[in-house]
Structure formats: structure tokens, C-alpha cells
Homo-oligomer: A and B are copies of this chain.
Amino acid sequence: MAYSEKRMVAWGDCDPAGILYTPRVYDYCTEALDNFFRTVLGCDWVALLAGGNGQPMVHTECDYLKPMRPGLELTVTVTVTATGRSSVTYAIDGMAADGTAHFRARYVACFIDIESGAAVPIPERFRAILERELAGHGQ
């Protein structure tokens, strides 16, 4: 099963039109991805950084499928959809309790050496987990 977490659309995340402000969906996705790291890979971004690595995004995108309003309860799901030498692609989806898909995002991350900024192979301790995730959920 893919990683998922509950998230409620907050009043302050919405704009004067009463719907989720465009950039906020990326806050939801990025926090879910951080939690996926902590929970599934056993390493949050602080520990990753302390270990000399980073995982900056090289590309992010999102389809806004249905408007999101304050109080909406979402299930945000993180799925590994591809792995390369240094890169990992994630699908991050937001779905309401009734099954309505509200957003679908895609993040492409690249493992780097934090000193040089150069791309490095996905560390082995993460690769095994990411590929297991990919086998279960990849597309």
C-alpha cells in the first residue's frame, strides 16, 4: 500500500475567492513527501542533510481537478512511479472521502551531494525501499 496521510484544507490556505490558493497545493505535497521520507525511508530531510545528501526537486507539476475549500478533508497519497540513477519520480494525489480526486501532482527529485551540489546515485539504503515501493505501486 502506498503512503497516505490526512490533511484538512485550512481557512488560511484559501484565497478571497474561497478556494485553495494555487501555490498551497505544493505545501501539501511537499509536506507529504517529507513525511513519506520519515515514515517509509526512515530518514527525514534533516537527517538526509546531516548525512551529506539532499534531494532537491528538479521538476514539480500539478493538475487541479476540483476546487478545494476550507474544511475539506483530503487523503494525500505518495507513490513512487519511477527511479533513475539519481532521480526519483513521485505521484502525489489528493482525494476526498467520497473518492473525488482534487489534485494530482508529480515531483521529480534528484539526489545530490550537498557540498558540491552534484547529482549522486540514489543511496543504496534508499534504493531498495524505493524500488519495493515502485514494484508495488509504479505506473
Residues from chain B with a CB closer than 8 A to the CB of A61 are 59-62
Residues from chain B with a CB closer than 8 A to the CB of A117 are 67
Q: With contacts A11-B21, A18-B46, A61-B62 known, what are 15 further pairs, Cβ within 8 A?
A: A12-B15, A12-B31, A12-B34, A14-B16, A16-B17, A16-B18, A17-B54, A22-B60, A23-B24, A23-B29, A23-B30, A44-B70, A44-B71, A59-B62, A60-B61
Interface SS, A side: mixed
In the assembled complex, the Cα of A29 lies from the Cα of B63 at a distance in Å of: 16
Contact B56 A63 (CB under 8 A): no
Q: Does A128 contact B (CB under 8 A)?
A: no
